[in-house]
Amino acid sequence: MSGVVFVLLLLGIGILSGIISAAAGLASLVSYPSLLALGLPPVMANVTSAFSTVTGNYSSVFSSFKELEHNRRQLWIILPLVFAGSVIGAFLLFAVPSKWFAELVPLCIALAGIILLFPHHPKQSTGTMAGNSKLFGKSRIGQFLSIIGIFIVGIYSGFFNAGAGVLMLTLLTVINRQKSFAVNNALKNVAMTVTNTTSWIVFALETTIYWNYVIPLMIGNVIGGYLGPIIVRHLPGRLMQIIVGVGSLILAVSLVIRNLI
């Protein structure tokens, strides 16, 4: 494969990854298997994927300001939780055997996809926080479980980037049943920006970065990350849930098959 073709291929992978990440939280559906197919080992494919998606995360947040305007209170609770979790997870990546990926990741991704495929029947809402003093449900137990869940997804995101976005999106969809898909997706975009930035710093300190892969993917992710939230605004939320759910199951099955070969 020539250098130009290689760069254009990575650029295309980055654009598609950025769109899927910003619109559905599943950049790994494209980036992780693609990097494996290009010959990177699992841990380095994960590191390269996480590194390259950071730029797309920021452009998706910029494009999500409309949905975030009335949800800042909840956002400021989510951010420290995912930050602390991602720090722990990023260091765990270098402390455990890489074979854990083969056992843990497909299961987590498949579970997230199955949850999303079940309809949640959200209440009609503009997605604002007005009149809602409970940011994570009505009961204290529900609020506690929501906070723990967000923290755990933060750990998972720092540990293994693949599927973290769809796990966060699934959790937020369950927690925020009264909010639209676009709002929960915007909250997910900000949370993943924090976790990926944290992982980016830890990975840069702990391992070698394959810049010849990362830079074209980063450029593509900027373009795709900006387009994703725009696409979400014009598609039904339930349709997006089905797309993400089916995509999650496809990714989970593909990773299991790869591990068996």
Rounded to an integer, what distance in angstroms lies between the CA atom of residue 33 and that of residue 103? 16
Q: What is the pTM of this model?
A: 0.72
Interval 74-79 mean pLDDT: 90
Higher pLDDT, 94 or 130: 94
- Would you kindly state where each structural domain of the chain is located, as residue ranges? 3-260
Rounded to an integer, what distance in angstroms lies between the CA atom of residue 238 and that of residue 62? 24
The pLDDT value recorded for residue 80 is 94
- Asked if the model's pLDDT at residue 81 lies above 90, the reply is yes
118: phi > 0 → left, psi -120 to 50 → alpha, else beta; which?
beta
The pLDDT value recorded for residue 126 is 44
Across 170-174, 216-220, 246-250, the highest mean pLDDT is recorded for 216-220
Token readout for 242 is 């089905």
Spatial contact of 228 and 182, defined as CB atoms under 8 Å apart? no
The overall average pLDDT reported for the chain is 80
- Asked if the model's pLDDT at residue 111 lies above 70, the reply is yes
- Asked if the model's pLDDT at residue 129 lies above 60, the reply is no
Q: Which amino acid is at 194?
A: V
Rounded to an integer, what distance in angstroms lies between the CA atom of residue 12 and that of residue 18? 10
Weakest-pLDDT range from 50-59, 131-140, 250-259: 131-140
**Cross-strand bridge partners of residue 135:** 137
